[in-house]
Structure 1
Amino acid sequence: MTQPAIPPLPHDIGGTGSQRELVLRVMPMPADANHNGDVFGGWIMAQVDIAGSVLPARISRGRVATVAVNEFVFKQPVSIGDLLSFYASIVRVGRTSITVHVEVIAERNPANPQVVKVTEANLTFVAIDREGKPRVIEQHA
């Protein structure tokens, strides 16, 4: 018996021209969920923060810190056993800061595969030096 293929997802988020990149994949475990088997929103937020920092750290060539969570939307619950893929794209690069859009896609139910967007967020990171002070991103130097 052939299983249905998981549909491909578009790489251009909202027609912005910004290519999205897979930056993290993780499967939540029982310790990450409540007694009903729903994964804690705070756990998902922490994973989004990690995933969101990947591109800014690469672009700024160094340390970054989260300075704002501009938007965070939980679209569907996440369950133990869902395979989560975190896609990030750059929204804006400023003199010392970078804003990123993160989408979280869940692959669930291996017997009858489904792919759903469960979360999306916009976060802003600032490039920082060893003392934790903002630093200019090289392309703006």
Structure 2
Amino acid sequence: MTESIYKVHIGDFFVEPRMLNHLRITHGGAMIRECDSALGLLAEKYVNGRVLTVSIRDFSFKQRTHVGDRIDFEVTMIATSTHTMTFYVNVLMLGFGRQPVTVGEGVFVFIAVDENFNPSPVPALEVHSSDQEKFIRAVRKRYGLSLDDVAAA
């Protein structure tokens, strides 16, 4: 059984002054860089090898973040192909004594590569519960991705 990447939390960090733009809020590029790095680590673990970012299919910012805000990424793999993995990320702002708040979300695609940067195989996505299946279907529908190959084992 392949490890399931379903609502996995990764990338917990605090916004630092170097991450701000001229408006003194978190620069979008800084947030995307952190997200891409965290997702890349999960993708490398999944394939037990190297990966490259193919595309950021979508990324939207829902709320501003500032210095000292604690950020976490909740990640779900929503698709695989022969050589690629597609991830949905929910960017959360965490606070002491309060519920997490979604401050961004997006869809990233990675390709597995060998040491010569040639495409390498990716294990097929395995869905392990009906809750996971429903979640993946909802995300894929929202982003206009195929629903054909999503089924709980």
The alignment's TM-score, normalised by the length of structure 1, stands at 0.78
- Confirm or deny: 8 A CA contact 2:13 2:70 kept in the other structure: yes
Is the counterpart of residue 98 in structure 1 residue 85 in structure 2? yes
Question: Does the residue aligned with 1:115 lie in a helix, a strand or coil?
Answer: strand
Larger radius of gyration: 1
The CA distance in 2 between the partners of 1:113 and 1:88, in whole Å, is 21
The alignment's TM-score, normalised by the length of structure 2, stands at 0.72
Question: Does the residue aligned with 2:54 lie in a helix, a strand or coil?
Answer: strand
The CA distance in 2 between the partners of 1:47 and 1:137, in whole Å, is 23
Q: Percent identity?
A: 25
- Confirm or deny: 8 A CA contact 1:51 1:88 kept in the other structure: no
- Confirm or deny: 8 A CA contact 1:51 1:102 kept in the other structure: no
Q: Give unpaired runs (5+ residues) of structure 2.
A: 126-153
Question: Does the residue aligned with 1:101 lie in a helix, a strand or coil?
Answer: strand
Number of the residue aligned with 2:50: 63
Note the alpha carbon deviations across 1:115-138, whole angstroms, 9 max, x for none.
Answer: 310010100000001111111225
Is the counterpart of residue 133 in structure 1 residue 102 in structure 2? no
Question: Does the residue aligned with 1:123 lie in a helix, a strand or coil?
Answer: strand
Which aligned pairs between 1:22-33 and structure 2 lie closer than 5 A? 22-33=9-20
Q: Structure 1 residue aligned with 2:74, among 74, 80, 87?
A: 87
Runs (4+) of structure 1 moved beyond 6 Å? none
- Confirm or deny: 8 A CA contact 1:23 1:54 kept in the other structure: no
Q: Structure 1 residue aligned with 2:8, among 18, 21, 30?
A: 21
Superposed displacement of residue 44, structure 1:
0.2
User: What amino acid does structure 1 have at the position aligned with 2:26?
Assistant: V
User: What amino acid does structure 2 have at the position aligned with 1:44?
Assistant: M
